[in-house]
Amino acid sequence: NLNFPSKNSVVRMWLYKNYQQALAVVFALEEINRDPNLLPNISLGFHLYNTYHSDEKTLESSLKWLSGGPQLIPNYSCRNLDNSVAVIGGVTSALSVQMGTLLDLYKFPQISYGPFDSILSDKVQFPYLYQMAPKDSSLHQGVVRLIANFKWNWIGLVVTDDMRGEKFFWEMREEMAKNGVCMSFTEKIPVSERRHVESHENFMPRIGFSATMVIVIHGDTDSLMILRHSQMPIFPTRKVWISTSHWDITMRPIFHYGYNFHGALTFSYLNSEVPGFKDFLKTVMPSKYSDDILLKGFWLSAFACPNQQGDTEQEICSPNASLESLPLKYFDMNMSGLSYTIYNTIYAVAWALHEMFMRKSAESPMGGEEYLRLHSWQLHSFLKKTQFNNTAGDQVFVDENRNSEAQYAIMNYVVFPNDTESLVKVGQFIPKAPLGQDFTLCEEAIVLDWWDSKVPSGVCSDSCCPGFRKNPLEGEAACCFECFPCPEGEISSQMDAEHCKKCPEDKYPNKQRDLCLPKAVTFLSVKEPLGMTLAFLAVSLSFLTALVLWVFVKFKDTPIVKANNRTLSYTLLISLIFCFLCSLLFIGQPTTTSCLLQQTVFGVVFTVAVSSILAKTIIVILAFRGIRPGSRIQMFLHPRVSTYVVLICSGIQVIFCGIWLGTYPPFPEADTHSEYGHIIIRCNEGSAFAFYCALGYMGFLALGSFTVAFLARNLPDTFNEAKFITFSMLVFCSVWASFLPTYQSTKGKAMVTVEIFAILASSAGLLGCLFIPKCYVILLKPELTCTWHREDREHQGHQSYRTSKN
């Protein structure tokens, strides 16, 4: 005989779907008894006992079975004819422990078909207990994979208040942390009967009123009875329930409508289909098993026969009905994971008995009654080694160390408006499969809500869009945050970015700050209006200077030209032509050659121009100041003195520029910061010190010319050159004095434009102040040249008289 303690609720109501477990026992035993190769000439039977969610009731049922009568007499059995060899149960770890404390005293093999529990694997504490269920060591990974697939990160967890629930809690917590999922709250289901009754009224309201949208439930049918008796009829907010393989989601709370769990996702054992089981269920009816009192009670309750309570002799209504016609919440024609484990457990005991009888037959060929009499403790050595292939083709081991890892089918619980329901397979989780094949999910087939096709948002905070970053809330979980825009110059291109990042040097953020755009390469081009205007001015002014040079050459014998030192005038005009033209070096894309020439050519030609003006100033002072005969200053009136002044002053600048080019020469560089969204190609001076020294040297020469000319501005002459030099140097110094702060405060193309403008303005100032008045006299007022010629001759005569007197 096999003793099968089944389970029922603590209240006197049927858990209809659990009756499939009892039918799995009947189906397995009928198969075994028909099999001529397994236990030939031996028939197996069973006793079925009920257990409750109570330590007291469980021990009471166990003692009733051991005593064999209504009186509980320890160490005494009234069943002399029974030959029981094993106990199959229980459906939960708690029940197995409760029964095991008593059964271990008699060395009865206890085979648990409930969820695998590592605590029960302790052979020191439970030496005669075997577990047939596959291991659930990867279940938490599958649950978190499902959560992460929908991008949920704010999860409520419901576990049993025992070691198994605590183990699952820590496994989930660790796995959730790896995947960026946070736990909003944890509810622990009490496992004792007293605390169960105390807690059930407030248990579901706490979950229902929470703002968390996704609830994970881990427990077994027994511990989750608290859900069936909750006092809250309707949840305030819709929830997405994720149940593990040990709780049948269709066994919904009796005070709730099914739509509260509509859309739930559950992990069920992925079992092979046992041949003939569905056909067997279709034939089950009270008339077939007339002696089965349990079947009669089930039938009366499941098919809602009137007046079924208190009338044990009531006639069966719908005697020809089929279990197939019952709704899913009452009965499932598909073999459950628990029924599949029970089926394998029955066969494991049968094979162990078969091996035992085969050995006894070999030892006692004559047989006899002793052949059939055995003691339960004798079965252990055979059970440990039992392995076989069941009718579904799966290999089964009784040795826990060889138990396979559980595989799961992901089922979607759908309740239709007419209150019919269905479990639809939408995916699977196979832990040992290759990566990419271990977790599959068909999201299109999943129904989570009747009214909205969108996946519920199971998050603490809405995701931060690209262009924003997450800012954690102080004192809150990592999944709760605020979204702040990325700072200027930074982007975030992903959802829920932790940090913003800067764009590469050659790119810049768009307005939304979610994408880096390529910067436009730009420089002061001759094709753009500004570059074209500056180039036109430079060419025009250089052409104008060339015309002035042509006038001076054409009228070289006029007194006004001769009096202005023709050589210095030619030198100054030619240098001004190059001053205007050197500004063209600053227009266009900078190259290594143009960068080398820009500042050095500019520095040299401007130095030549300023040196020429300085020489002119010195000559004017010496020519128009009275000098005593015999003075050593007369030696500076030599015609070559001006040439020496220009060569020496310019030579110093040439030497300085040569040192500059040999040590820290200018070079082209990409300026990525001066102008937003642009890369400015400009010339780097190489050495800012050398650049400002070159400017300072020119400034020194100009300041010297200005000072000397200013002192001679009031010379009593009709055409005083010192006045024009003074004004020209004033313009020159004003332009370059304003250039320095402006140049420092501008960037990019504006910096180049400022320098070009300074070159053109200062050069134009020299041209206008020194030569335009002379050209005006030469071309438009030639009669003034006579006055100039007469005064010039008188001045020359005065100089000759003073020389002769000396």
Per-residue pLDDT reduced to its tens digit, 501-540: 998 888 889 999 999 999 888 888 888 898 899 999 999 9
- Across the beta sheet with 678-684, what order do the strands follow? 520-522, 678-684, 667-671
User: Is the predicted pLDDT of residue 714 greater than 80, yes or no?
Assistant: no
What's the pLDDT score for residue 561? 78
Least confident of 383-392, 534-543, 636-645: 636-645
Residue 144 has φ and ψ, to the nearest 5°, of -70, -35
pLDDT one-digit tens code per residue, 676-708: 888 888 888 888 888 888 888 888 888 888 887
Alpha carbons 674 and 797: distance in angstroms, whole number? 63
User: Is the predicted pLDDT of residue 794 greater than 60, yes or no?
Assistant: no
More confident call, 788 vs 512: 512
Mean pLDDT of the chain: 81
CATH class of 2-133+273-305+318-401: alpha beta
What's the pLDDT score for residue 732? 82
What's the pLDDT score for residue 441? 94
- For the chain, the domains span 2-133+273-305+318-401, 468-518, 533-586+604-666+686-805
Q: What are the DSSP calls for 26-78, one per residue?
A: HHHHHHHHH-TTSSTT----EEEEEE-SSHHHHHHHHHHHHHTSSS--TT--S
What's the pLDDT score for residue 804? 36
User: Is the predicted pLDDT of residue 293 greater than 60, yes or no?
Assistant: yes
| pLDDT-above-70 percentage for the chain | 82
Three-state secondary structure call for residue 600? helix
User: Is the predicted pLDDT of residue 288 greater than 70, yes or no?
Assistant: yes
Alpha carbons 562 and 559: distance in angstroms, whole number? 5
pLDDT one-digit tens code per residue, 87-141: 998 788 878 888 888 888 888 899 999 888 888 888 888 899 999 999 988 999 9
What's the pLDDT score for residue 799? 41
Compute the Cα dihedral for 502, 503, 504, 505 and give only its sign.
Answer: negative
Buried b (16+ CB within 10 A) or exposed e, 253-282: beebebbbbbbbbbbbbbbeebeebeebbe
User: Is the predicted pLDDT of residue 628 greater than 90, yes or no?
Assistant: no
User: Is the predicted pLDDT of residue 718 greater than 50, yes or no?
Assistant: no
What's the pLDDT score for residue 8? 41
pTM of the model: 0.68
What's the pLDDT score for residue 7? 44
More confident call, 197 vs 687: 687
DSSP 8-state secondary structure symbol assigned to residue 405? B
* 337 φ/ψ sector (left φ>0, alpha ψ -120 to 50, else beta): alpha
Sequence-distant (6+) residues with CB within 8 A of 457 are 213
Task: Note the helical H segments in 404-528.
Answer: none
User: Is the predicted pLDDT of residue 581 greater than 50, yes or no?
Assistant: yes
Q: Residue 226 — pLDDT band, cuts 50, 70, 90?
A: low
Average pLDDT of the residues in 204-221 = 82
| pLDDT-above-90 percentage for the chain | 25
User: Is the predicted pLDDT of residue 145 greater than 90, yes or no?
Assistant: yes
Alpha carbons 252 and 247: distance in angstroms, whole number? 10
Q: Which residues pair with 484 in a beta bridge?
A: 469
Determine the CATH number of domain 533-586+604-666+686-805.
1.20.1070
Q: Residue 569 — pLDDT band, cuts 50, 70, 90?
A: confident
